[in-house]
Amino acid sequence: MVQFCLRRRIQRRMLILRRCIRRLMDRLLMSCLRKTVRYRMLPQAIMSPTPPAPAPDAVQGEFESVEVVPEPVSVPAPALNRDYSVDSDLVPLKISLLGDCNIGKTSFLEKYVGDEKERGREHENGLSSIDKTLIVGDARISYSIWEVGGDKKYQDHIPIACKDSVAILFMFDLTSRCTLNSVIGWYQQARKWNQTAIPILIGTKFDDFIQLPIDLQWTIASQARSYAKALNATLFFSSATYNINVNKIFKFITAKIFDLPWTVERNLTIGEPIIDF
């Protein structure tokens, strides 16, 4: 009887110790992931759009690779706060939009969020954010999309916008080569605060781009592909006016994050919305 009581007491203490260790490991894991909720396993299915027809590798560009060696620095608390309800099937993800002024970032974002653009949008001088919720299988994905103003005076918002982002969209105007040249600076600033986010290079205003002479289209497309290669980024040509590749970009991000069986085929045909990776 004494041995049985002693065994029961030891088992109880081991159970308590095991629970404490499990709670400690959970807290450490959540702290490393910097998430407020647990992720759930998503189903191996996602809506698959019709991919564009592949084309031969028609253009090649050369660009000296950019090497960025960021240093760890402290980041101030975000100025825009959002409360997510603790829901077992809600996966909150953050995406950042960077690029010069007047390149169509806001139009691109509003085209994607659609009817939700009037709800949940928060503004600060040079910084705004908006939410978009998707249903994928039995899980809900809440994208928090942060847009930084294109003026240099707003670059102080880059740390807030980029910290903890899963993807960063570097945007430029296809009809303005100076905005493409600025992408390198945006990339270097963003990588100081986030070295793991998926980089995506997006050329906007494709509907205006196709009105340019074909030789100029070839030159800009070649340079954009060279920049994308240097940044190790996927390249999309898009148009918010005609909703070209807008939704496809975010589906691509979702597939990349959750390793879903959905792929984008390359399209390198001049005069068509290019997709290159």
Mean pLDDT of 50-73: 40
| Structural fold of domain 87-276 | Rossmann fold (3.40.50)
Better-scored residue on pLDDT, 116 or 198:
198
Q: How confident is the model at residue 121 (pLDDT cuts 50, 70, 90)?
A: low
Mean pLDDT of 205-212: 96
pLDDT score of 29 more than 60: no
Q: How confident is the model at residue 59 (pLDDT cuts 50, 70, 90)?
A: very low
Mean pLDDT of 79-84: 46
Mean pLDDT of 210-237: 96
pLDDT tens digits, one per residue of 131-153? 888 887 777 888 999 999 988 88
Bridge pairing between strands 90-99 and 139-148: parallel
**Six-digit token pair at 69?**
């060696």
Burial pattern 12-48, b for ≥16 Cβ within 10 A else e, equals eeeeeeeeeeeeeeeeeeeeeeeeebeeeebeeebee
**DSSP SS3 for 272:** coil
Average pLDDT taken over every residue of the chain: 77
Nearest to 108 by CA among 64, 34, 170: 170
For the ranges 113-117, 174-178, 191-195, 227-231, the lowest mean pLDDT is seen at 113-117
Mean pLDDT of 80-93: 62
Per-residue model confidence (pLDDT) at position 78: 42
pLDDT score of 75 more than 90: no
How far apart (Å, rounded) are the C-alpha atoms in residues 31 and 52? 41
Per-residue model confidence (pLDDT) at position 1: 61
pLDDT score of 264 more than 60: yes
Per-residue model confidence (pLDDT) at position 73: 40
Better-scored residue on pLDDT, 251 or 118:
251
Domain ranges of the chain: 87-276
Residues 6+ apart with CB under 8 A from 266: 54, 55, 275, 276, 277
Per-residue model confidence (pLDDT) at position 179: 96
Per-residue model confidence (pLDDT) at position 136: 75
Top-ranked range on mean pLDDT: pick from 30-39, 180-189, 256-265:
180-189
**C-alpha dihedral (208, 214, 220, 222), degrees to nearest 10:** 140
Per-residue model confidence (pLDDT) at position 80: 46
pLDDT score of 8 more than 80: no
pLDDT tens digits, one per residue of 164-175? 999 999 999 999
